[in-house]
Amino acid sequence: MKGGIHFHVVFDLEKVGLPGTGKTLLAKAVAGEAEVPFISCCASEFIEMYVGMGASRVRDLFSQAKKVAPSIIFIDEIDAVAKSRDGKFSLVSNDEREQTLNQLLTEMDGFESDSAVIVLGATNRADVLDPALRRPGRFDRVVTVQYPVNQSSSGRRNRERKTDKRSPDKNGREAILKVHVSRKGLPLGEDVALSYVASMTPGFTGAELANLVNEAALLAGRQNKAVVQKIDFLHAIERSIAGIEKKSVKLHGSDKAVVARHEAGHAVVGTAIANLLLGQAQVEVNTKHKEMEMSKTVSSFHLSLFPAKRNMSSMYP
């Protein structure tokens, strides 16, 4: 943007672009640091039943950005209008979507050297984008947004990327929790250690951790607490993993025995697998003796297995 130079960036999340990585949050951070007008929209908003509406909205978007330049345009879920036109990713032709894409390409080609407008696009399906959108002069710079990983060891960091590309590691989760606790200004109880909460949330994405903090605050607020305590975070984790407690469902007699044997099987298998892996610490077993309504079934016990130490990748070269 400085010196009359403009460039376009697309967040290519072809390999690690699962939801919850923070694509939208990163775009907002860029706008905040640049201190320029930030025009945000979702690509799906361009398309309607009336032919020509999508192209018209694209023209209006770029016209607005040029009027307040220097500015940033952020198009979220850009694959909604920018799928490849070779028919590989769609069974039928969509003239309205193609017209919208053509208008987007035209607007990006029409930038002058002093337009001072930056275009950011976000997608978690970079593999379906039309090649014309990613040629030099349009979205010619690709930034891969990954989950944060432990920075303490480059060797370990590389191994973790190979074995777990879906979610941040413990240090990453703790950092994310600190950000959301700070943003909400939550008063934490003396028994709360965010490092412990991070260790109890393996597999959680950034978006899920943000929701976890909000859920813990809601639980504390419903009990008129002055601070958010450790038990509130544990109940929030339980809700995220197993669902909301359904007090109306009661299991009796043989039903309880069946569920108990089932969950005991999980515990035995989990511990046995941990013992088979050389150099692995014992698995911590946490039983939740509550009646939970699961997504497809109802269980009176919920078993969670958490590795005491994250070193599973150490046995691989």
- Tell me whether residue 30 is exposed, middle or buried, using C-beta atoms within 10 angstroms of its C-beta: 0 to 12, 13 to 18, 19 or more: middle
What is d(CA 160, CA 202) in angstroms, rounded to the nearest whole number? Answer: 13
- Tell me whether residue 288 is exposed, middle or buried, using C-beta atoms within 10 angstroms of its C-beta: 0 to 12, 13 to 18, 19 or more: buried
What is d(CA 146, CA 13) in angstroms, rounded to the nearest whole number? Answer: 8
> Angle at the Cα of 44 (from 93 to 176), degrees rounded to 5?
135
Which candidate in 96, 263, 284, 293 is catalytic? Answer: 263
DSSP 196-244: HHHHT-TT--HHHHHHHHHHHHHHHHHTT-SSB-HHHHHHHHHHHHH--
* Contact call for residues 290 and 238 (beta carbons, < 8 A): yes
* Contact call for residues 267 and 285 (beta carbons, < 8 A): yes
Angle at which helix 206-222 crosses helix 170-184, to 10 degrees, equals 50
263 is catalytic: yes
* Cβ neighbours, 10 Å, residue 100: 24
Tokens describing residue 224: 């008129």
Q: How many residues does the chain have?
A: 317
Supply the residues annotated as catalytic: 263
